[in-house]
Structure 1
Amino acid sequence: MNDFDKIKDDAVPSNGLSNDIIIRSSDKVDFVIQRKLLSEASPILRDMLRMSQPPPYSAEPQDEIVGSPPVLALPEDGATISALLQFHTHGLDKDGPTLSKVRSILEAARRYRMYGVVAAFRPRLVELGKLRTDALSAFAIACSLGLDEEAETLAPLAYELRGRYVPELGDMSAGVYYRVNHYDPR
């Protein structure tokens, strides 16, 4: 069994109700779940399910098997969708995801207006940023996602790493980059 099989099994709540939709990730991982679960998790996903025509990210008709639940394809990878579904059904993972995964989870949660997920993962971003090697990356992620409180908390740590380059810096404005390089840590 590969990791995605486990993810699929863990992501589906077992409450005895029938699963009536397939969520397909960008890396072709399918999650067979209940429309009700998606509707409770996100107003955006609820609205996508209510549309009479296929939503913009729906799967091509040839991807569906006759008699199987409809497929809703999303642009996120399987691990991100799994984390969103697991959070909604089981809460926050104690071990927590890596910095790059926190970013993709926060981006998806904001896209689908899953504010409880955003609130739960904001502290994880700061926690990872307090690891000195990830401070600048976490700061840049907080800035690019508009998480001002987290960016302010991480600014002194990011200042210590000024002059270094991390790929996440490409997603924030030059003004913010200038300010962190001239930050007064008093």
Structure 2
Amino acid sequence: MDDDLHQRVPVDAGAPFDRGDVIIRSADSVDFYFHKLLLSLASPVFSNMFSLPQPGPLDNAADRTKHGLPIIPLAEKSIVLRKLLSFCSPVYETDVPVLEDLDIVMSVLDAADKYDMKRVGRFIVKMITAPRFLEKEPMRVFAIACRYRSEVETLMAARYMLRFAVWEPAYVTELDFISGSDYQRLVKYHASCGQAMTQLTRLWSNHPLPLLDCKFCRKKGVSRMSLKEYQDSVIEALRIRPSVESLLNPEWIESMVKRAGSCISCRERAPGKFVEYAKELAFPVTAIILEIHLDIDFWY
């Protein structure tokens, strides 16, 4: 009982939230001193709230004022409010708050949405394509960006997901917040990119199979693998995962090496040649993908 009472005693958030003309109290009893003007500029919800009569400096009700300042209790925890209020500060564009993971991103976005902080929400969504988010959880990034109708970030996530087969990414809860139509269009985009890889057949003359010039087996090219066989394998790999990263996958390279022949020298040198060849294909593959449209209607 004493511990519960102790936990409910409000504590100050500390710098930089130690000055202001209003106190924002979190659900876990942390008091953030902030400025009404900044909150009003960031949120019409707070602007309307401050247009109503506020507790006076002589109001001694413990749950209404503190040090003569009005207290506004909110349902969000301090970890969320600390981020949210930081984005309402005029210096956040040069001193950007750190968003450690997509869980805290979603919590702050939900709060920004609740208080109608559209500019803050848009700024946060632009941050989710950072490599630490996109490389780890591309489907979550896609769903979040799509939910907030952020076209650039949605397309970046959709293109990143071309590294995977369409059935590989696991379900994420953020998909519940977008329509089935949006998800279907992602699947269609993936399929269209895969089908478009057949266009590479027109470019093979500019991208011949790399030579090994093996002095042991005395064969040009990759031993025991015809040019057409390798080109067909490239297109099939890109049809399933339409990204050059598919051709840089060690497992795929190993499968090609095994098909290349039994010459020890070829098998040692082939992986490096396959990597070089894949890098040469990066430009034409990217050019093909850039022509494919992600057919999602964006509005906000």
Is the counterpart of residue 26 in structure 1 residue 31 in structure 2? no
1:44-55 equivalences in 2 (<5 Å)? 44-52=45-53
Following superposition, the deviation at residue 165 of structure 1 comes to 1.1
Q: Residue 24 of structure 1 contacts residue 71 of structure 1 at CA under 8 Å; is this kept in 2?
A: yes
AA of the residue aligned to 1:88 = C
CA distance in structure 2 between the partners assigned to 1:123 and 1:46 by the alignment = 25
**Structure 2 residue corresponding to 1:118, chosen from 104, 117, 121:** 121
The amino acid that maps onto 1:168 is E
**In the alignment, which residue of structure 1 is the partner of 2:225?**
none
Correspondent of 2:175 among 166, 169, 173 = 169
**Distance change >3 Å, CA 67–CA 93, structure 1 → 2:** closer
Partner of 2:106: 103
Which piece of structure 1 moves more, 109-118 or 76-85?
A: 109-118
- Matched with 2:15 is 10
Residues 68-99 of structure 1, C-alpha deviation per residue, up to 9 Å, x if partnerless?
A: 53221223332222112223333143644322
TM-aligned CA distance change 1:35 to 1:117, over 3 Å: same
Higher relative contact order (CA 8 A, sep 6+): 1
Structure 2 residues without counterparts, runs of 5 or longer: 1-10, 56-60, 194-288, 290-300
Residue 36 in structure 1 maps to residue 37 in structure 2:
yes
Equivalent of residue 155 in structure 2, options 133, 152, 155: 152
Q: CA deviation at 1:167?
A: 1.8
Alpha carbons 1:102, 1:124 under 8 Å: kept: no
The one-letter code matched in structure 1 to 2:81 is I
Percent identity reads 29
Largest Rg, 1 or 2: 2
In 2 relative to 1, CA 177–69 (structure 1 residues): closer, same or farther, beyond 3 Å?
A: same
Choose which of 175, 178, 185 in structure 1 pairs with 2:184: 178
- For 2:73, give the aligned amino acid: A
Contact 1:107 1:145 (8 Å CA) reproduced: no
- Please tell me whether the aligned partners of residues 140 and 171 of structure 1 are also in contact (alpha carbons under 8 angstroms): yes
Amino acid at match of 1:28: S
SS at match of 1:70: strand
| 1:46 CA displacement | 1.5
Per-residue deviation, 1:134: 1.0
**2: distance between equivalents of 1:178 and 1:64?**
50
Deviation, 1:44, is 2.5
The one-letter code sitting in structure 2 at the alignment partner of 1:47 is N
Instruction: Give distance in 2, aligned partners of 1:23 and 1:119.
Output: 23
**Length-normalised TM-score, structure 2:** 0.48
Q: How many residues align?
A: 172
Kindly provide the amino acid, as one letter, of the partner of residue 166 in structure 1: V
Partner residue of 1:79?
79
CA pair 131-9 structure 1, distance change in 2 beyond 3 A? same
By how many angstroms is 1:111 displaced? Answer: 3.7
Cα RMSD (Å): 3.2
Displaced runs of 4 or more, over 4 A:
65-68
User: Relative to structure 1, is the Cα distance of residues 72 and 161 closer, same or farther in structure 2, using a 3 angstrom cutoff?
Assistant: farther
Q: Is the 8 A contact 2:22 2:71 kept in 1?
A: yes
CA deviation profile, 1:128-157 (whole Å, cap 9, x unmatched)? 576332100010111122223321221122
